[in-house]
Structure 1
Amino acid sequence: MRLFLTSALMIGLATPVSAFDSLEELGEALFFDVNLSKNRTQSCATCHDPENGFVDPRETDVGRAVSLGDDGESLGDRTAPTATYAKFTPDFEQMDKRAWRGGMFWDGRAAGLAGQAGGPPLNPIEMGMPDEASVVARLAEDPDYVAAFKALFGDAVWDNDEAAYDAMTQAIAAFESTDLFSPFDSKYDRFLRGEVELSDDEELGRVLFFSEQFTNCNLCHQVRVSPIAQDETFTNYEYHNIGVPVNGAVRAANGVEGPDLGLLANPDVDSADAGGRYKVPTLRNVAVTGPYMHNGVFEDLRTVMLFYNKYNTLDKARQINPETDKPWAMPEIPQNLAVTELTHGPALDDKRIDALVAFMKTLTDARYEHLLEE
């Protein structure tokens, strides 16, 4: 599948002379290569499907909440986040005693796109390869890879498994850094450029979203100072515990016991204050990349809005999860809740909740807008 080469024509790039004429083109081939998994059934694109917002569209015994591994049996415990706009994620850092930002994965444990790309091939419940040497051996089976690695990294790259594995991750990261992953061409972007108008509901949602008086959305989902910044990624990349409950269906299926510690699972973090925190995800393509939260516990985007709204209302009807018809379940980790952020702003009525959902739909890249109807 020559996705980048086809898209290159659409985004105005020159047509490459050869298959691996650049690091990005090599990375594209690697991104789609199922031979980099133990049973040769799974690639990066399996869980980050470019036709589905770079998330996993496969149905499993627990729906699409988590991904199925290369062995055809293992189920993960966290959902695969979209790879769109991931290149803008800053390096992981602890800003103060109780604040962290950046890094890849839900807990920030990997450094940059290359660090993230190196994780799944070696994860026993994902692509399942036993070690870097085994992955490099698979790479060496392909003469095109051998030639491309030498051309791009030097002949010595094959003398050391670690160097060759690192080269692979760099190539994948280069592909993920192309405009294909972050085109900034959603209806919202076109609105900022004066090319389209928003509907009344979308405009109300936009105003509410950026207003700290009426919502708490932009406390975590705005990184630029200006509310009309044309490169807004709709996340500040910080970590918060918003009280997400356990996904009982996932746990019953994958057999995982004990709480998911969130940021505290990051080996570089040892503060109890980090427990239950997860990185704020981008809202780019959010309307087409459900289910939602780090464990896929909510199916619908409107449910997510109602979940947030429960912190700001005493209305008994608002304390019911519409997907279960039961009261909202307790947080998996009740400590370290982001009380200040969660309780900021008044309760929202249906009109405003629907307007916010309408606005978030405008953050869908043009190539995925057909998924909004599906």
Structure 2
Amino acid sequence: MLPKHAIYTRICAVLLTCWPIGGLAAPFESEEALGEALFFDENLSLNRTQSCATCHDPEAGFADPRETAAGRAVSLGDDGVSLGDRSAPTAAYAAFAPGFHQNDEGKWVGGLFWDGRADSLEAQAGGPPLNPIEMGMPGKPAVVARLQENADYVAAMQALFGPNIFADPDKAYDAMTRAIAAFERTDLFAPFDSKYDRYLRGETMLSEDEELGRVLFFSEQFTNCNLCHQLKQSPMDPAETFTNYEHHNIGVPVNEAARAVNGAKGPDLGLLANPLVDDGAQGGKFRTPTLRNVAVTGPYMHNGVFADLRTVMLFYNKYNTKAEARQINPETGKPFAWPEIPHTLAVKELTHGPALDDRRIDALVAFLKTLTDARYEHLLEE
């Protein structure tokens, strides 16, 4: 059986527009093609067991499908022992995230990772190899040394980035991240071919429940969904990524099951973990994720605390109802736990709109399933 990177090389031959590089002897004729190989290369981790694709598996919506002692809530590191404290977000559609900045209203927007600390795909790609509980490499020179073990990488990087690229480990490392980012900007990561996209193009119809969910989702009168999960002005915009990239505290509780095995202590500070942010009012805020492929990339929230998409809908709905039954987490049979950091809760956004009955909650879930890319639709049945 071909390795994953070989399979996706063939796929990308159709999806990518590559240009020849004069004198290039290696099989990587573009930054995208080189980045694809690097994305799947486990040799870039300390124990040679983990690649970018390990936590962002193309077969699983570019999320992490592995079961660990914490379920699928957080990811296992290259050492086979370490567990993170945050869920690995999907890498699909990540290329559309703007750089980390404050908008005209003073809200922090964009960036990558849950706290926006990576300003670009390149910066994000450079993080995991050096993270001690992820890929675990001791420094950039060690990663560059691993790159130089591969003659094809050496030839390609010299052709693409200059013959002296390996003279400076920092520049070589940056070239690696540039190639990975180029691969992540290809259509493989953002095909816009879900049922919803086909509906917008007039190629299919939505079911009654899906259509009700769509109307509810984009209506500020009946839900608060699009306050954070709509980027474009028109609900019919074909380039909608279903996030405005703002950072909010929505009151997600601690994932006690993950904390019991990963040893993490204290509240996750969210935006305050970003070195560019020092305002205490930003504590507990996390970047709004895309909803594309959301039905197949659980568990949910920054710490993977909820396993089921319907539970997420009920969690949001609890802010808009006083009904005691609506305060119960169906996954635990107990009331939804308190937020980690309650004083920065986005009360205005969370309490916008009326309470929803079961029919409308189910309709919203049905609509969210239509945001699943065509190649992952089989996962909806599983």
Moved more, 93-102 or 76-85: 93-102
Q: Which residue of 1 aligns with 2:319?
A: 311
Give, as a single letter, the amino acid of the residue that structure 1 aligns with 2:202. G
Q: Which residue of 2 aligns with 1:7?
A: 11
Q: Which residue of 1 aligns with 2:278?
A: 270
Give, as a single letter, the amino acid of the residue that structure 2 aligns with 1:207. V
Shift in Å, 1:98: 5.0
* Distance (whole Å) between structure 2 residues aligned to residue 96 and residue 3 of structure 1: 45
Q: Which residue of 1 aligns with 2:167?
A: 159
* Distance (whole Å) between structure 2 residues aligned to residue 316 and residue 3 of structure 1: 51
Map 1:228-243; keep pairs closer than 5 Å. 228-243=236-251
Give, as a single letter, the amino acid of the residue that structure 1 aligns with 2:370. T
Structure 1 residues without counterparts, runs of 5 or longer: none
Which deviations, in whole Å up to 9, do the C-alpha atoms of 1:165-192 show, x marking residues without a partner?
Answer: 0000000000000000000000000000
* Distance (whole Å) between structure 1 residues aligned to residue 193 and residue 227 of structure 2: 24
| TM-aligned CA distance change 1:323 to 1:202, over 3 Å | same
Which deviations, in whole Å up to 9, do the C-alpha atoms of 1:66-93 show, x marking residues without a partner?
Answer: 0000000000000000000000000100
Q: Which residue of 1 aligns with 2:128?
A: 120
Shift in Å, 1:152: 0.1
- 2:150 matches 1:142: yes
1:213 aligned residue (221, 224, 238) = 221
The count of corresponding residues between Structure 1 and Structure 2 is: 374
* Distance (whole Å) between structure 2 residues aligned to residue 207 and residue 154 of structure 1: 53
Moved more, 167-176 or 12-21: 12-21
* Distance (whole Å) between structure 2 residues aligned to residue 85 and residue 12 of structure 1: 16
| TM-aligned CA distance change 1:106 to 1:32, over 3 Å | same
* Distance (whole Å) between structure 2 residues aligned to residue 294 and residue 98 of structure 1: 23
* Distance (whole Å) between structure 2 residues aligned to residue 15 and residue 285 of structure 1: 31
Q: Which residue of 2 aligns with 1:30?
A: 38
Structure 2 residues without counterparts, runs of 5 or longer: none
Which deviations, in whole Å up to 9, do the C-alpha atoms of 1:232-262 show, x marking residues without a partner?
Answer: 0000000000000000011110111111000
Any conservation in 2 of the 1:241–1:337 contact (CA below 8 Å)? Answer: yes
Any conservation in 2 of the 1:240–1:279 contact (CA below 8 Å)? Answer: yes
Shift in Å, 1:94: 1.7
Give, as a single letter, the amino acid of the residue that structure 1 aligns with 2:12. A
* Distance (whole Å) between structure 2 residues aligned to residue 36 and residue 74 of structure 1: 17
Shift in Å, 1:8: 3.1
Map 1:145-224; keep pairs closer than 5 Å. 145-224=153-232
- 2:364 matches 1:356: yes
Give, as a single letter, the amino acid of the residue that structure 1 aligns with 2:55. C
Map 1:2-81; keep pairs closer than 5 Å. 2-8=6-12, 11=15, 19-81=27-89
Tell me the C-alpha RMSD between the 2 structures.
1.4
* Distance (whole Å) between structure 1 residues aligned to residue 159 and residue 15 of structure 2: 26
Which deviations, in whole Å up to 9, do the C-alpha atoms of 1:197-240 show, x marking residues without a partner?
Answer: 00000000000000000000000000000000000000000000
- 2:346 matches 1:338: yes
Q: TM-score, length-normalised on structure 1?
A: 0.98
